[in-house]
Structure 1
Amino acid sequence: MDVLVLVGRILFASLFLLSAVNHLTRTAMMAAYTQSRGLPAAVPATIGSGVLILAGGLSVALGIWADLGALLLAAFVFSTALLMHAFWKEDEVQARQMEMIHFLKDLALGGAGLMLLAFFSYAGDDLGLTITGPLFDID
């Protein structure tokens, strides 16, 4: 089971790690999109969110307080769903549909992050192939 969980952690985290690279290396492009969605301070928000998902992704992938990493990733995708993919604000049908798809994808990823938080916290030090045990003790 440990290897299966490791592979799952790496696959889950890879989405966020690749996105973090884009946030931190293509900041101007990403910030332009952020600004187009009406968020203030687009460049600091892009850099900050990049650092957040880099930390969360590395935490989950490497198994260093993976429960905290899963919580960080869930917080990111839930806030992204609300702030960046507000489909209810779109007037054009195709744009509304695309934003709804992204919104629902983010909700699903956030739900997976919450499940991982619970899983890592519950499994505790019994889960192998991690560098540390969980930060939180959820029973």
Structure 2
Amino acid sequence: MGVTGFIGRALLASIFIKNGLDHLQNPEPIVRAAKGAEVPEPEIAVRANSAVMLGAGAMLALGVAPRFATTALAASLIPTTVIGHPFWDKSGKERMHQQSQFLKNLALFGALLAVGSRK
């Protein structure tokens, strides 16, 4: 992989690494959202998801098992997106904000699929 591929992987990974660290250091808001969505064992689920984001993000940034890393990150985005950005339950500016975040996560999901499918 060339320099641009390395930079692209690192940039894509950066949001997962940052959010994984943030959520491990301050899990309460995410745990509240998980409780509201009736996720079983929300504290454990949030910590596990955060650890996946941090670990798989670092793996992706370093180019270690990138297919595994992108698969893990894509899988972690599904509950994160559906639980964290329920724009369909909102109105006005909050709906617009949550919809933008939902679509951003869909774009990240697509980027992970594209990076993970490269040979």
TM-score (ref. length: structure 2)? 0.88
After TM superposition, list the pairs within 5 Å mapping 1:1-139 onto structure 2.
2-35=2-35, 37-40=36-39, 41-90=41-90, 92-119=91-118, 122=119
Q: Is the 8 A contact 1:22 1:30 kept in 2?
A: no
Segments of 4+ moved more than 4 angstroms: none
The 1:77–1:6 alpha-carbon spacing in structure 2 relative to 1, beyond 3 Å, is: same
Q: Distance in 2 between matches of 1:57 and 1:83?
A: 20
Alpha-carbon shift at residue 52 of structure 1 (Å): 0.9
The 1:108–1:25 alpha-carbon spacing in structure 2 relative to 1, beyond 3 Å, is: same
Alpha-carbon shift at residue 104 of structure 1 (Å): 0.4
Q: Is the 8 A contact 1:17 1:54 kept in 2?
A: yes
Output the aligned Cα RMSD.
1.6
Structure having the larger proportion of residues in helix = 2
Provide structure 1 residue ranges, at least 5 long, that are not aligned to the other structure.
123-139
Alpha-carbon shift at residue 73 of structure 1 (Å): 1.2
Alpha-carbon shift at residue 33 of structure 1 (Å): 4.2
Identity of aligned residues (%): 28
Count of residues in correspondence between the two structures: 118
TM-score (ref. length: structure 1)? 0.76
* Residue type of the alignment partner of 2:109: G
Q: Is the 8 A contact 2:6 2:61 kept in 1?
A: yes
Match of 1:125 in 2: none
Q: Is the 8 A contact 2:34 2:83 kept in 1?
A: no
